[in-house]
Amino acid sequence: MNASLRGGTAVEVDRTRLLEVRDIVKRFQGVAAVDRATLNVADGSITALIGPNGAGKTSLFNIVSGFARADSGSVRYRGRSIARLPPHRVARAGLVRTFQQPRVLRRLTVLDNLLLAGRRQPGESFWRALAPGAGRRDRELRRRALELLALVRLEDRADAYAGVLSGGQRKLLEFVKALMAEPLLVLLDEPLAGVNPTLRELLLQRLREVRAGGGITFLVIEHDLGSVMRVSDEVAVMSQGRVIFQGPPDATRRDPAVIDAYLGSADAIVGSGTPG
């Protein structure tokens, strides 16, 4: 599905750097939440963004996705600056985020949550919604939505209100909602937190499959280091607003600065990957 989106670009895109974050600074009342953070996300990769609480990971996500504006620094996505785009324009460009607290639309059905995210919907225009055939696109989208729901084993909840789902199920719905928007790059904010071990494995498995099959790149904030290290190609480590290290998982485990940042919880990094 992404081939068409990628094919038409006139701009020369550095394929190794889908997202380039340079020297981002974001202060809240004088305190720097993000302090000259620099980060690259390679096209087609799963890149993990790890770091202690308060390191600035979510703030960085907010800036990249257009929900917050940086005080300084640049965000380039597919070679173009997106630092001043509003969130909906960022999403339409194919950069879709999820939220740490899943933001499912509770009074919409599970299926409607997905259909909402679908692209190219003529029925979203008032006048076209009045014309006959405005529901036709819904039928195409519905097929795709049900596939995605099956992917995370929510297909039998399609007609339930999203508000009746468990916390873990909401995380899964949030994940496939992002996929429904036909993204090139998905920012996942702690997709595993609060998800039980079975669903956790399922989500990790789907993450790898989607990356392999759909050409989608992922940038993932996660505290479950064992899990995230297993699936990621690159790891970026944030501490006190800065990215102190970026490299392959193996190198991350050995980097003294990283071990230092976790202050003795180095076991968590070296550890075998059993979910904590």
What does the binding site for other proteins look like in residue numbers (CB under 8 A)? 65, 67, 86-88, 91-92, 96-99, 103-108, 112, 115-117, 119, 121, 123-126, 129-130, 134-135, 137-138, 161, 163-164, 177-178, 180-181
Residue 82's closest CA among 102, 65, 68, 99?
A: 65
For 157-224, where are the alpha helices, taking DSSP H only? 167-180, 197-214
DSSP H or E segment with residue 117: helix 110-117
- For other proteins, which is the closer residue by CB, 181 or 216? 181
Q: Which is nearer to other proteins, 165 or 229 (CB)?
A: 165
CB of 158 to other proteins, least distance (A): 15
Q: How far is the CB of 93 from other proteins (least distance, A)?
A: 9
Q: How far is the CB of 268 from other proteins (least distance, A)?
A: 30
Closest approach, Cβ 119 to other proteins, in A, equals 7
**Tokens in use for 214?**
């759909």
138 vs 201, which CB is nearer to other proteins? 138
Region label for 78, one of left (φ > 0), alpha (ψ between -120 and 50) or beta (otherwise): left
Please tell me the distance from the alpha carbon of residue 250 to that of residue 177, in angstroms, as a whole number. Answer: 32
Number of neighbours of residue 105 by Cβ within 10 angstroms: 15
Nearer to other proteins by Cβ, of 179 and 261: the residue is: 179
Least Cα distance to 269 among 198, 100, 251 occurs for 251
Q: How far is the CB of 4 from other proteins (least distance, A)?
A: 17
Dist. CA 140–CA 151, nearest whole Å: 17
Q: For residue 61, give both structure tokens.
A: 């996500």
Measured from the CB atom, the residue of 186 and 236 that comes closer to other proteins is 186
CB of residue 270 to other proteins, shortest distance in Å: 35
Indicate the residue among 55 and 180 with the shorter CB distance to other proteins. 180
Q: Quickly count: other Cβ atoms within 10 Å of residue 8's Cβ.
A: 7
Element (H, E) at 261: helix 256-261
